[in-house]
Structure 1
Amino acid sequence: MLCIASCGPWTGDHHWGSTAIEKASGESVKLDCHFSLAPLDSGPLDIEWSLLVSDQQKEIILYSGDRAYEDYLPSMKGRVHFNSADPKNGDASINLTGLKSSDTGTYQCKVKKAPGIANRKMQLTVMVRPSKPQCYVEGQSEEGKDVVLKCRSAEGTNPVKYTWEKTTDNQLLPASAVLDLMGTMNVKNASASASGTYRCTAKNRVGTEECILTLRVMPPSNKAGIIAGAVIGVLLALILIAIILFCCCRARNKKKYEKETSYEIREDVPPPKSRVSTARSFTSVGSQRSSLGSMSPSNLHEYALKPQYDKIPSDEYERPPSHAPLPPPGKMAGPNLSRMGAIPVMIPAQNRDGSIV
């Protein structure tokens, strides 16, 4: 009868008891399967390895007709090989490299050589070692408040155990520290003595990783002062913005006014009257003489008192000096009249009743 050595107790249906194996991801494992033949076992030798997952059997490697057939399962291609170059000598063990979590399952080794047949099952669990955990502080680290320290690994097969320890000062955790299984440490009513360096360790059955965290518990912040400072800062900023806007508007208005003024049409100052020529002056004087000659004494008196605004002095005639005294009204001397161009006229004498003498 065919026998598989180191199989544990023999069962009535020629199935040997199973064993459990735990390995870490990335490692290699050897699945043992040694057999011995009975004298009556004279048929061809067949060795078959399969993976049983969710009641499904998937062949992963086969030996038949003195030849090995590998790469049956795509997910294990290039990672599974017979341990012996000639399995028919009694060593049907296989080596599985680069283990993955998907390799977890029940493996079966079946050896057939007619009329004998035997098989062996073994449970392989591929565990993922914890990844390097991330350590951080959640919330504000102030005195009098609860400080929460977190430690978490992104990968790792459960159960993963987390532990905290202080590596500075007296290396003792704060008396008010509370730890849970998920890697959280809550320091109640934290004080300055809780400051220091802490180490968190993540561990499962196949590996260990750790991280370091430095905690600084600060004095309570002056929130009132911070708020007042923020308000003052906002007010100053608003005032500065208002000043800038005022200056910009003023400069814009000034520029607009200067632009409008530059295009304004201005009225020219009238030019001074030109001086009358000498010929015109003589003509005017002559006309004045003729007019004076026809004036009566009463008209002559009014003419002497009337301001001469329409006369423009020429180069040959000069105005009388401003300090020269004017003759009394109604009595103008002959030389003065002659100087003004008047012609003497003889006026008949009249008596009181108006008769000519």
Structure 2
Amino acid sequence: MPGFGHQLVGEGLSCSHSAMGSSGRWIIWMLCVCCSAQENVALRVTMRESSLQVVQGDYVVLPCSFFTSSPLSRLNIIWTLAPFSSPEVPTQVIVYDHGQVIEDPALTGRVGFTGVPWSADIFLNDTRVSDAGIYRCLVNNPPETASSGINELELRVLTPPSLPLCQWDGDADAGGSVTLSCSVEEGVPTPEIHWEKLDPEKIALPINMEGDLTGSIQIANVSSQTSGLYRCSATNVLGTENCYVSLSIYTAPARSSGVLQGVLLTLSMCVVLLALLGLLLWLHHTGQDGWRWRRAKEECYDIRYTSSLRSFV
């Protein structure tokens, strides 16, 4: 049976051409050919999958099959990981060597073989973002040579979007320009970013993408109508996360209001001046009446004084 070091029973069979029937000789000859061919079969390693996906926190089996015709007493299996973040620095995940299993201390309890020595498959549980990358399975089984003793597969760990960060920058005075930005730390597949204004009615807004995980909108010539609640959404197949910005635009008092205040002030001053003028006229009129009364009194006194003198004479 391929893959598990079965040896053909009857290696001591002789292939001599003694006195046997033609059919017997043919059978023996075929057994000799098969035995020789089996001894020349090299170790082969294959992957049943070229890529796998797993949701963060779930369990996954990484398959690796090998085929050999030699005993498994010296079997050696090595799994390595080249993370997507640093593919040039692969790390050792787990090793099977002469019946012993050695795990990466950082993965203790989360990685293991499913059925050594008959299988090189391993499992990963409680998967994390750091588990994503290129996994390589290397199998050696001395003294057998390996024509393709290594193979690889890609593992992607799907994660929902992290909570995005919303912020704004710019001039919030009427007529100015404002930029709203939204960024998310992680998410696999890469989250799609959307901006929309929620009130007074929901309006989708065009986005300028700055890389895969940051999106912004620019609003020029802002006005009081620009004020409102804005929402950024980061979405992938595993869910959606939101953040919000409340924008208030300052609008200076209208010029017509200043003109009205000037008119009111002018009218007030006119009223005051008219009151003062009325007061002056009243005082003037009152002064003339007093003068006339004094004049009349003096004239009356003169008449009485003259009459008295005449009567005395």
2-side partners of 1:181 and 1:57: how far apart? 32
The number of equivalent residue pairs is 206
Alignment-derived partner of residue 68 in structure 1: 101
One-letter identity of the residue aligned with 2:138: K
1-side partners of 2:45 and 2:80: how far apart? 15
SS of residue matched to 1:87:
coil
Is 1:180 the counterpart of 2:208 in the alignment? yes
The answer as to whether partners of 1:141 and 1:218 remain within 8 angstroms in 2 is yes
1-side partners of 2:186 and 2:66: how far apart? 43
How far has the Cα of 1:121 moved from its partner? 0.7
2-side partners of 1:54 and 1:211: how far apart? 33
Alignment-derived partner of residue 276 in structure 2: none
SS of residue matched to 1:209:
strand
SS of residue matched to 2:163:
coil
Alignment-derived partner of residue 138 in structure 1: 169
The answer as to whether partners of 1:161 and 1:181 remain within 8 angstroms in 2 is no
Change (3 A) 1:132 1:57: closer
Alignment of 1:84-95 (within 5 A): 84=114, 86-90=115-119, 92-95=121-124
Alignment-derived partner of residue 123 in structure 1: 154
When structure 1 is superposed on structure 2, of 13-22 and 184-193 the one drifting more is 13-22
The answer as to whether partners of 2:76 and 2:97 remain within 8 angstroms in 1 is yes
One-letter identity of the residue aligned with 1:60: V
* Structure 1 residues without counterparts, runs of 5 or longer: 4-11, 223-357
1-side partners of 2:139 and 2:198: how far apart? 57
2-side partners of 1:195 and 1:220: how far apart? 14
How far has the Cα of 1:123 moved from its partner? 2.1
Alignment-derived partner of residue 200 in structure 2: 169
Is 1:107 the counterpart of 2:139 in the alignment? no
* Structure 2 residues without counterparts, runs of 5 or longer: 5-41, 255-313
Is 1:43 the counterpart of 2:72 in the alignment? yes
Alignment of 1:181-196 (within 5 A): 181-182=209-210, 183-196=215-228
Alignment of 1:17-56 (within 5 A): 19-22=50-53, 27-28=57-58, 30-35=60-65, 40-44=69-73, 45-52=75-82
Q: Work out the percentage of aligned pairs sharing the same amino acid.
A: 25
Change (3 A) 1:127 1:36: closer
The answer as to whether partners of 2:164 and 2:184 remain within 8 angstroms in 1 is yes
SS of residue matched to 1:88:
coil
Change (3 A) 1:100 1:154: closer
CA displacement, residues 36-83 of structure 1 (integer Å, 9 cap, x when unaligned): 756x34332443222347566543212244443323xx443443222x
1-side partners of 2:151 and 2:123: how far apart? 13
The answer as to whether partners of 1:2 and 1:41 remain within 8 angstroms in 2 is no
CA displacement, residues 289-345 of structure 1 (integer Å, 9 cap, x when unaligned): xxxxxxxxxxxxxxxxxxxxxxxxxxxxxxxxxxxxxxxxxxxxxxxxxxxxxxxxx
One-letter identity of the residue aligned with 1:110: L
Alignment-derived partner of residue 218 in structure 1: 250
2-side partners of 1:155 and 1:29: how far apart? 21
The answer as to whether partners of 2:45 and 2:65 remain within 8 angstroms in 1 is no
2-side partners of 1:76 and 1:113: how far apart? 26
The answer as to whether partners of 2:66 and 2:139 remain within 8 angstroms in 1 is no
Is 1:2 the counterpart of 2:3 in the alignment? yes
Highest CA radius of gyration, 1 or 2?
A: 1
Is 1:97 the counterpart of 2:117 in the alignment? no
Change (3 A) 1:65 1:211: same
SS of residue matched to 2:229:
strand
Change (3 A) 1:130 1:57: closer
The answer as to whether partners of 1:162 and 1:203 remain within 8 angstroms in 2 is yes
Change (3 A) 1:108 1:155: closer
2-side partners of 1:55 and 1:137: how far apart? 38
Q: Which has the higher contact order (CA 8 A, sep 6+)?
A: 2
1-side partners of 2:120 and 2:109: how far apart? 20
Change (3 A) 1:144 1:20: same
2-side partners of 1:196 and 1:55: how far apart? 48
The answer as to whether partners of 2:179 and 2:217 remain within 8 angstroms in 1 is yes
Could you state the TM-score of these two structures normalised by the residue count of structure 1? 0.46
How far has the Cα of 1:130 moved from its partner? 4.1
1-side partners of 2:157 and 2:132: how far apart? 5
